[in-house]
Amino acid sequence: MKIRKIQKNGYDNGASLAKAWRADGLVLYPGSGRAELGYLLSNEESSQKLGYAAATEGVNVNLLQRWEKYAIEQGNEKMLERIRAWDEKKLLQTVEKVQQKALAQKFDRRRYPEIQGLAAYRSAEAKGIADVLGVDYRRVLLCNGYGGYIHRIVREGGESELSEKSGCTTIAFKSSPKGPIIGRNLDAEIAALAGLQGHGEPVMFQYPEEMGYSYENTTYVNSEGLALQGSSIAYPQEPESPLSLVGMDIQDLIVRFCKNVTETLDLIERYNPFFGPTNLLVVDARGDAAAIEKTKNTFAVRRTDTNWIFTTDGVAVEAKTRKLQGDDTPAYQFSLQRHQLIEKLLKKEAKAPSIEAMQRIITDHALPSPVCKHLDKMPSFYPLASLYSFILVPQEKVYYFKVIRPGPTYPCQQEPVKYSYAFDGKGAEKGDPHVR
């Protein structure tokens, strides 16, 4: 397992990251894929084999051309006209203006201690990366959360966000002979495969004590045994709230600063205005667990009396959030069928919770809305596939990881690779680095 030792100085950390990525043959780019500290990366060799242009071109990809192509594909003449009114110079100047606005934001120190100085740190980090890679630091910012925000400015609002779609399901046995067991499928469009292929080996971020707990990048499990995963959801009946400009990733904040579910829920309540929509599932080392259905402006928390809990994409089941989502669309009904399937499977498998039982659930292919998704079995409005899956056992500090291969050969058709991780500052036991 790779260990990235986080530096206290943002510029130094950016330079260190860029040097490590270069040594590992990773390409920084604005797109969709596996992220390190919010930066999107791909394996250069895999990108070329897959023919994924955005990743192959890297940080210097022409975003205006990419957005123009998207507008043409959508048949959106108004969006196309707006995009063609821009040029690269104006785009980068806008990135700088947005960055300055983020740096000028002030947050209550008592309520939001975790993000004090975060924007300044990220700005310095981007400059460190840019200097090592020899690129404009504003392009680095476009690879770390600014791309979607800037696209909104370019198209002046109205239409849906430009982004690759994603799904995801997370399931947990709260207790077993091995302690909590967590199963996870990441579902996304095949375009995201380039980023997934870029990481043959997982990454652990080792933070200085005052900057938070160390955590592993794939499973979002930290040194306190707190694990967190999310899935996508939309709330079309809720008015949209303003975007936060701090480049904040709520999952990153939670695993860095929370050691249990209680602390996680407190952080989510405090940071409610700054993130969403999403579904989250959080489990701590004691087996306490909660599912959070987060809209843009509010959230609902689900606890269970059963030994299991789960969340899946596209469906809110709590009354408070379901009414904001609406439940009469084909997409909602499709996701609801999967939710009902998982609940049925869990009622059976939770009688004897184990790694094998979790494996049976996350590889279930029952139609019409399976847990493990193969692209050729999905309806046209849901062009997603299960790109990777893992099973995490926090008390044993191990997880079992499987990733799709070009073809495609899906995770359910792969033998899992076992990884061990440690957070004692002395490194981690290395697993098989060839998950390609």
CB 180 within 8 A of CB 283: yes
- Which residues are within 8 A (CB) of 393 and not within 5 positions of it... i.e. 6 or more apart? 178, 179, 180, 181, 182, 355, 399
Strands lying side by side in the sheet with 289-294: 2-5, 203-206, 215-216, 221-222, 227-231, 278-283, 289-294, 299-302
**pLDDT score recorded for residue 160:** 43
Between strands 227-231 and 278-283, the pairing is antiparallel
Mean pLDDT value across residues 351-366: 97
pTM above 0.85, yes or no: yes
Is the pLDDT score of 2 beyond 90? no
Q: Which two tokens stand for residue 412?
A: 């359910």
Q: Which of 184-198, 251-265, 384-398 has the lowest mean pLDDT?
A: 184-198
Q: Which whole-number Å values give the CA distances from 91 to 29, 101, 362, in the listed order?
A: 16, 16, 42
**pLDDT score recorded for residue 247:** 65
Q: Which two tokens stand for residue 114?
A: 């975790």
Residue 37 corresponds to which amino acid?
L
Task: With cut-offs at 50, 70 and 90, classify the pLDDT of residue 428.
Answer: very low
φ, ψ dihedrals at 216, nearest 5°: -95, 135
Residue 101 corresponds to which amino acid?
K
Task: With cut-offs at 50, 70 and 90, classify the pLDDT of residue 108.
Answer: very high
Report angle CA 347, 349, 350 to the nearest 5 degrees.
Answer: 70
What percentage of the chain reaches a pLDDT higher than 70? 89
Task: With cut-offs at 50, 70 and 90, classify the pLDDT of residue 433.
Answer: very low
**pLDDT score recorded for residue 296:** 87
In the chain, the domains with their CATH numbers are 2-155 (no CATH), 169-420 (3.60.60.10)
Report H helices in 316-354: 319-325, 330-349
pLDDT for 279-329, tens place per residue? 999 999 999 999 999 998 899 999 999 999 999 999 999 999 998 888 888
Mean pLDDT value across residues 155-171: 65
Nearest by Cα to 274 from 234, 247, 313, 304: 247
Dump the DSSP string for 16-69.
Answer: HHHHHHHHTTEEE-SSSS-EETTEEEEEHHHHHHHT-HHHHHGGG--HHHHHHH
Q: Which two tokens stand for residue 42?
A: 């791909």
Residues 257, 235: Cα–Cα separation, whole Å: 28
DSSP 206: E
Is the pLDDT score of 17 beyond 90? yes
Is the pLDDT score of 101 beyond 80? yes
